[in-house]
Every structure is written in structure tokens, then in C-alpha cells.
Amino acid sequence: MNFENRFQSRRAVVTGGAAGLGLGIAARIVAEGGTAEIWDIDPDALAEAAAPGMTPRQIDVTDADAVADAMAAADPDILVCSAGITGPNTTTWDYPIDDWLKVQNLNLNAIFFCCRAAAPIMKAKGWGRIVNIASIAGKDGNPNASAYSASKAAVIGLTKSLGKELAETGVTANAIAPAAVKTAIFDQMTEEHINFMLSKIPMGRFGTVEEIAAMACFLASDEASFTTGFCFDQSGGRAVY
């Protein structure tokens, strides 16, 4: 389905936009009349993803100063925070501290940096849409993924706070909690962990990039005007709240 011109004259910033969910979301925004800056740390993926309407920017979103400068230059109406990593699959007691900190820094702190930089820009316009990609792991807590689960739970909390802070400004902030979707992120997980995630999905299949993009684009659109500070489920029936 294509909502022609749904994003006409809208400028988006999509972090992690060179691959996976971020790229799918950016592509749909552009296909429906908007423009997107895709921010990513991977120059090769950026070069491959560049397309009309999609401007690649090599940015490490864990660099708060770089994020603030790039956000001011981008002047976005829409921010989608999709950059994320899983970290290793191991028990909490075996979890390497460096890896724990790396996961929190990208999956949580960088989203804070992006939201912190984008919110005043959107507030000044009286319109804005922030969509943060969390995970079902943040609601359920996946075993052998404590850093990831904790970071995603924190993103849900951050988004709920931000949504309420912005509630009277015309800017909304929502999160999405997908179950597993087959992207390059699977390369970071053990086969056992991937099978565990699939076994937990009542629909018995992985989600698709297109399904996540459909929800993200609804939340980024004018239509989603009475919804903020909420986390939307895309888990094939896994979520119970």
C-alpha cells in the first residue's frame, strides 16, 4: 500500500537508516513524498542505500556533539531512531562489562542524544513526530540478552516521559516494540537465541521490514495525532500488554 504524498514536504532523520528497519522506514517515507537523511556509522551500507530523496550521512549517534550539530543542520519534522545492536548472548553474570556499556550507549544513550537534539527543533515548528524502535525484549526480558532487554525497556520509559513532556506542543513521541525481524542484526545473535525468539511468537513467523515500516510511518504521519508516549506492539501476538 502507498499513501501518495503522505509525507510531502516532511523532512526525516532516520538513524541506522542504511540498513534493515531504518532503511525500510526511510524508503517508505521517501516513496510517500518526503525526504530522509539516513544516519549510519557504516559508510559502505550508506553508499549502497543512497537514492533520490535519501541523503546519506555518516554519523556515529553515540557522539552527542555530532548528533546535536547534524540535527540542527537537518531541521527534521520526523525523527526515527533505529540504530541499535544486540550485544552478546550470554547470562547476566557472564556479561562482559564493556559489552554491557556499549549496548546501553547505542541503544539508550544515543536515542536520548537524538531526542534531546530534535525535540526543541520540532517544538519550535509546532509539529513533529518521534518514533523510537524498542523491542519486545524490553517488555518481556529475553534470557541471555539482559543488556539488550534493559536498554529497550529504558527506551520505552524514555519515550513515555518525552511524549508527556511534549504533549501540548504538536510533537508526539512513540515507540515500537517488534519481535524478531530477519535483518543483518541476526548476524549478531546465536542460532539458539534466534530459534528461542521465533518459538515465542504465536504467529509462528518472523515479522517483516515492511510491517515495521507500516507502523512507523503511521506514527510519523499526520493521522497519528492523538497518540503519544505509547509503545506499539508488533510481536505476532507475543506481547500481553
Ligand X SMILES: NC(=O)c1ccc[n+]([C@@H]2O[C@H](COP(=O)([O-])OP(=O)(O)OC[C@H]3O[C@@H](n4cnc5c(N)ncnc54)[C@H](O)[C@@H]3O)[C@@H](O)[C@H]2O)c1
Catalytic residues: 148
Among 12, 13, 14, 21, binds ligand X (CB under 6 A): 21
Among 145, 147, 150, 181, binds ligand X (CB under 6 A): 181
3-state secondary structure the chain: CCCCCCCCCCEEEEECCCCHHHHHHHHHHHHCCCEEEEEECCHHHHHHHCECCEEEEECCCCCHHHHHHHHHHHCCCEEEECCCCCCCCCCHHHCCHHHHHHHHHHHHHHHHHHHHHHHHHHHHHCCEEEEEECCHHHHHCCCCCHHHHHHHHHHHHHHHHHHHHCCCCCEEEEEEEECCECCHHHHHCCHHHHHHHHHCCCCCCCECHHHHHHHHHHHCCCCCCCCCCCEEEECCCCCCC
Choice between 47 and 184, CB closer to ligand X: 184
Choice between 60 and 222, CB closer to ligand X: 60
CB of 152 to ligand X, least distance (A): 7
Among 13, 14, 19, 131, binds ligand X (CB under 6 A): 19
CB of 30 to ligand X, least distance (A): 17
84 binds ligand X, rule: CB under 6 A = yes
CB of 184 to ligand X, least distance (A): 4
233 binds ligand X, rule: CB under 6 A = no
55 binds ligand X, rule: CB under 6 A = no
62 binds ligand X, rule: CB under 6 A = yes
Binding interface with ligand X (CB under 6 A):
15-16, 18-22, 39-42, 45, 59-62, 82-85, 106, 133, 135, 178, 180-181, 183-185
